[in-house]
A = this chain, B = another copy of it.
Amino acid sequence: MKVMIDICIVPLGVGVSVSEYVAACQKVFDEAGLSHQMHAYGTNVEGGWDEVMLAVKQCHEIVHEMGAPRITTSMRLGTRTDREQTMQDKVDSVQAKLS
């Protein structure tokens, strides 16, 4: 089962700047070999369910190791059995309706 997620990891107890934690998570997705795309309020990641979820777990582990005592993440998870659809397909599909 493939999954596409949108994830926003929020460390608590480390002040207001969270960019270094977000950067660490980008590296996790990179090293996992997962297709991912950061935006201003989260990151899209796609791949096999188990691989993506393992990376999410590693993000929590690494952010705790970096010093955050508490993390609250918000995430969307999309799966479908009717057809394959990449992140780019989704954007293209809307763009086609706009033009």
A-to-B contact residues, CB < 8 Å: 1, 3-6, 8, 10, 12-13, 15-20, 22-23, 26-27, 37-42, 44, 46, 49-50, 53, 56-57, 60-61, 64, 69-82, 87-88, 90-91, 93-94, 96-98
The 19 listed contacts between A and B (C-beta, < 8 Å) are: A6-B8, A8-B72, A12-B15, A12-B18, A16-B80, A23-B94, A23-B98, A26-B94, A26-B98, A39-B44, A40-B91, A41-B90, A49-B60, A69-B80, A69-B81, A70-B78, A70-B81, A73-B77, A75-B77
A12 to B85, alpha carbons, bound, how many Å? Answer: 15
B residues less than 8 Å from A82 (CB atoms): 13, 16, 69-70
Copies in the complex: 4
Q: Are B19 and A97 in contact (CB under 8 A)?
A: yes
